[in-house]
């Protein structure tokens, strides 16, 4: 008997899934109208669902102890926990005029929660896909991504950009999704056969609604007001001298966004040319900019980055995702990722004995490439 049957006493009628992601480059650019280059990872959130005849929504998550939570459609209000993703989803769909009834849903995800790999967008998109199928909702994949962002912005209280739900909805395994977030256009970029990316989770947990992320976003908005532009995307490297006149830290925040946008464009051409060394240099520059200008790194991430510098086979390394914890991504030659990642993970765990590192330091490298 499946867990769904055990909990709800019936079988699901719909199943849907959506992946987590690793962002290769283009960090904190999406809410500035800039460029991003994420790719899906082979870790997914799965949702099983069955429509009910009344207005009750009953949900259970394997990742939250499996207890059943319940509410009535129309009575959604943020509670500050995981149920907000589900409530946000039904509240926004109803507000858009989509007709829903109640449903029973079971969620199980192997995207590490809070690991900088977009576990929440995977949940948003998986649930929206399940509801689209169950209620035959006339929604495109782009609509799902937009709704996913609104759930976070309007219900969860995290002022995130569109990158994560977009790649959860439109990403293809083995391809990076190059997105222009201002124009909302995208292109699938094949990962070169000779490249491999390794993801290592620091074990330090972030929560975007907790404040730091929203603070960064407000700083960018203030920089825009001071510079008289509506989005930092409007500025390029030729504007860096103007940016220098801003007070600190706005100067460094804006400098990160402007230089990072440029690095994404260069990374796309490096990927297309199969130039891994150029891509690796861009990873390293991006990391330095996140650490020094955007200030989203933490000591444990720096420990991982330093360990990755000690490995000659690593071509580039950077913090991926929103930061304040989470994961790093390394670039290496195809076939070497597992072994390199394992060595760095072991060194990180050993380091944990001497320094104050989080409890969960047994990290498993996750390798993604063309065939992942």
Which residues in this chain contact ligand GLA in the complex, by CB under 6 A?
Answer: 23, 27-28, 30-31, 118, 160-161, 163-164, 321-322
Tell me how far, at minimum, the Cβ of 156 lies from ligand GLA, in Å: 11
Tell me how far, at minimum, the Cβ of 51 lies from ligand GLA, in Å: 30
CA–CA dist 27, 35 (Å, integer): 9
Nearer of residues 31 and 71 to ligand GLA, judged by Cβ = 31
Tell me how far, at minimum, the Cβ of 129 lies from ligand GLA, in Å: 19
SS (H, E, C) 204-223: CCCCHHHCHHHHHHHHHHHH
Tell me how far, at minimum, the Cβ of 161 lies from ligand GLA, in Å: 3
Nearer of residues 129 and 217 to ligand GLA, judged by Cβ = 217
Nearer of residues 48 and 261 to ligand GLA, judged by Cβ = 261
Contact of 15 with 52, CB cutoff 8 Å: no
Distances (CA, A) of 125 to 21, 72, 219: 12, 21, 29
Choice among 164, 201, 284, 293 that is catalytic: 164
> Catalytic annotation on 292?
no
Tell me how far, at minimum, the Cβ of 144 lies from ligand GLA, in Å: 15
Which of 154, 163, 103, 153 is CA-nearest to residue 132?
A: 103
CA–CA dist 349, 219 (Å, integer): 35
Tell me how far, at minimum, the Cβ of 251 lies from ligand GLA, in Å: 20
CA–CA–CA angle 343, 295, 202 (5° rounding) = 25
Q: Is the dihedral of CA 209, 319, 189, 266 positive or negative?
A: positive
Give the residue at shortest CB distance from ligand GLA. Answer: 322
Nearer of residues 27 and 284 to ligand GLA, judged by Cβ = 27
Nearer of residues 171 and 321 to ligand GLA, judged by Cβ = 321
CA–CA dist 190, 369 (Å, integer): 9
Those residues with Cβ within 8 angstroms of residue 94's Cβ, 6 or more apart along the chain or in another chain: 73, 74, 100
The residue count of the chain comes to 372
Those residues with Cβ within 8 angstroms of residue 343's Cβ, 6 or more apart along the chain or in another chain: 311
Nearer of residues 12 and 326 to ligand GLA, judged by Cβ = 326
CA–CA dist 288, 338 (Å, integer): 25
- Active-site annotation, residues: 164
């Amino acid at each position: 008997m499946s867990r769904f049957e055990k909990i709800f006493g019936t079988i699901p009628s719909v199943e849907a899934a959506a992946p987590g992601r690793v962002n290769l480059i283009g960090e904190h650019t999406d809410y500035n109208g800039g460029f991003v280059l994420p790719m899906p990872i082979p870790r997914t959130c799965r949702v099983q669902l069955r429509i009910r005849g009344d207005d009750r929504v009953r949900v259970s998550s394997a990742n939250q102890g499996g207890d059943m939570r319940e509410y009535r459609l129309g009575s959604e209000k943020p509670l500050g926990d995981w149920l907000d993703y589900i409530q946000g989803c039904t509240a926004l769909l109803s507000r858009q005029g989509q007709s829903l009834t109640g449903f029973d849903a079971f969620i199980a995800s192997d995207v590490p929660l809070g690991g900088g790999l977009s576990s929440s967008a995977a949940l948003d998109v998986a649930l929206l896909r399940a509801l689209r199928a169950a209620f035959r909702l006339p929604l495109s994949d782009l609509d799902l991504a937009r709704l996913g962002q609104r759930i976070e912005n309007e219900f969860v209280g995290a002022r995130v950009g569109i990158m994560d739900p977009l790649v959860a909805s439109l990403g293809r395994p083995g391809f990076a999704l190059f997105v222009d977030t201002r124009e909302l256009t995208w292109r699938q970029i094949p990962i070169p056969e000779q490249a491999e990316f390794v993801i290592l989770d620091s074990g330090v947990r972030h929560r975007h609604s907790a404040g730091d992320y929203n603070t960064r976003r407000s700083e960018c908005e203030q920089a825009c007001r001071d510079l008289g532009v509506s989005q930092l995307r409007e500025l390029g490297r030729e504007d860096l001298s103007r940016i220098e006149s801003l007070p600190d830290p706005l100067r460094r925040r804006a400098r990160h966004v402007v230089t990072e946008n440029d690095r994404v464009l260069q990374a796309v051409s490096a990927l297309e040319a199969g130039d891994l060394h150029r891509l690796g240099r861009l990873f390293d520059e991006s990391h330095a900019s996140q650490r020094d200008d955007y200030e989203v790194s933490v000591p444990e991430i720096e420990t991982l980055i330093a360990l990755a510098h000690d490995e000659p086979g690593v071509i580039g390394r950077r913090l991926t995702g929103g930061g304040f914890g989470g994961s790093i991504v390394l670039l290496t030659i195809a076939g070497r990722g597992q072994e390199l990642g394992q060595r760095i993970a072991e060194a990180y765990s050993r380091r944990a004995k001497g320094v104050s590192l989080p409890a969960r330091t047994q990290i498993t490298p996750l390798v993604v490439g063309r065939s992942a």
